[in-house]
Chains A and B, each alone.
Chain A
Amino acid sequence: MFHWLEKNPFFFAVGVFVVIAFAGLIEILPNFAEASRPVAGLKPYTVLQLAGKEVYKKDNCIACHSQLIRPFKSETDRYGQYSLSGEYAYDRPFLWGSKRTGPDLHRVGNYRTTDWHENHMWDPTSVVPQSIMPAYKHMFKNIADIDTAYAEAVTVKAVFKTPYDAPNGTPLGTVDEARAAALEEAKAITADMKNQDVKDAVAAGKIPEIVALIAYLNRLK
Chain B
Amino acid sequence: MQSNAALEYDYSVAKLFTLTTILFGIIGMTVGTLIAAQLAFPQLNYLIGEYGTFSRLRPLHTDVVVYGFLLSGIWSTFYYVAQRVLKVSMAESKFLMFIGKFHFYLYFVGALIAVVTLLLGITQSKEYAEFEWPIDIVIVLIWVLWGISVFGIIGIRREKSLYISLWYYIACFLGVAMLYLFNNMALPTYFVSGGIGSIFHSVSMYSGTNDALVQWWFGHNAVGFVFTVGVIAQIYYFLPKESGQAVYSYKLSLLSFWGLMFVYLWAGSHHLIWSTVPDWMQTMGSVFSVVLILPSWGSAINMLLTMKGEWNQLTDNPIIKLMVLASTFYMLSTIEGPIQSIKSVNAIAHFTDWIPGHVHDGVLGWVGFMTMAALFHMAPRIFKREIYSRKLIDIQFWIQTTGIVLYFTSMWVAGITQGMMWRAVDEYGNLMYSFIDTVAILHPYYVIRTVAGLLYLTGFFIFAFNMIKTMTASAKLTEEPQHRTPMAA
Contact = CB atoms under 8 A, between A and B. Distances in A.
B161 A88 contact: no
Nearest to B163: A6
Nearest to A3: B161
Interface in A48-106: 54, 56-64, 66, 68, 70-72, 74-75, 77-78, 83-103
Given A35-B209, A134-B42, A150 B439 contact: no
B485 interface: no
A92 B58 CA distance: 21
Contacts of A99: 351-353, 355-356
Contacts of B355: 98-99
Contacts of B143: none
Given A28-B214, A59-B53, A72-B347, A154 B189 contact: yes
Contacts, number: 253
A175 B171 CA distance: 47
B189 A152 contact: yes
A99 B193 CA distance: 34
B124 A93 contact: yes
Interface in B391-436: 422-425, 430-431, 435-436
B46 A134 contact: yes
A221 B58 CA distance: 27
Interface stretch (B97-105, B235-243, B271-279, B474-482): B271-279
> For chain B, what secondary structure do more than half of its interface residues adopt (helix, strand, loop), or is it mixed?
helix
A145 B198 contact: yes
Interface stretch (B258-266, B310-318, B455-463): B258-266
A86 to B, nearest CB: 8
Nearest to A142: B50
Nearest to B422: A74
A188 interface: no
A132 interface: yes
Interface string A31-47: 11001100000000000
Contacts of B423: 72, 74
Interface string A195-211: 00000000000000000
B254 A151 contact: no
Given A92-B203, A99-B351, A20 B274 contact: no
Question: How many of chain A's residues touch chain B, expressed as a range?
Answer: 35 or more
A130 B423 CA distance: 20
A100 B352 contact: yes
A77 B433 CA distance: 12
A147 interface: yes
Question: How many of chain B's residues touch chain A, expressed as a range?
Answer: 35 or more
Contact of B189 (A62, A93, A151): A151
Contacts of A136: 50, 53
A113 interface: no
Contact of B121 (A2, A60, A94): A60
Contact of B271 (A98, A150, A158): A98
20 contacts: A7-B161, A12-B162, A20-B175, A20-B261, A20-B262, A24-B178, A31-B278, A32-B210, A60-B58, A63-B59, A71-B274, A74-B423, A85-B277, A88-B207, A93-B211, A94-B209, A134-B54, A135-B46, A136-B53, A147-B198
Given A6-B162, A23-B264, A133-B42, 18 more contacts: A19-B258, A20-B174, A31-B277, A35-B277, A36-B206, A54-B201, A58-B121, A59-B56, A68-B276, A77-B431, A87-B208, A100-B352, A135-B46, A138-B49, A150-B197, A151-B189, A152-B201, A154-B189
Interface of B: 38-39, 42, 45-46, 49-50, 53-56, 58-59, 121-127, 151, 154, 160-162, 167, 170-171, 174-175, 178, 182, 187, 189-190, 192-193, 196-198, 201, 203-204, 206-215, 217, 254, 258, 261-262, 264-266, 268-269, 271, 274-278, 281, 284, 288, 347, 350-353, 355-356, 422-425, 430-431, 435-436, 439-440
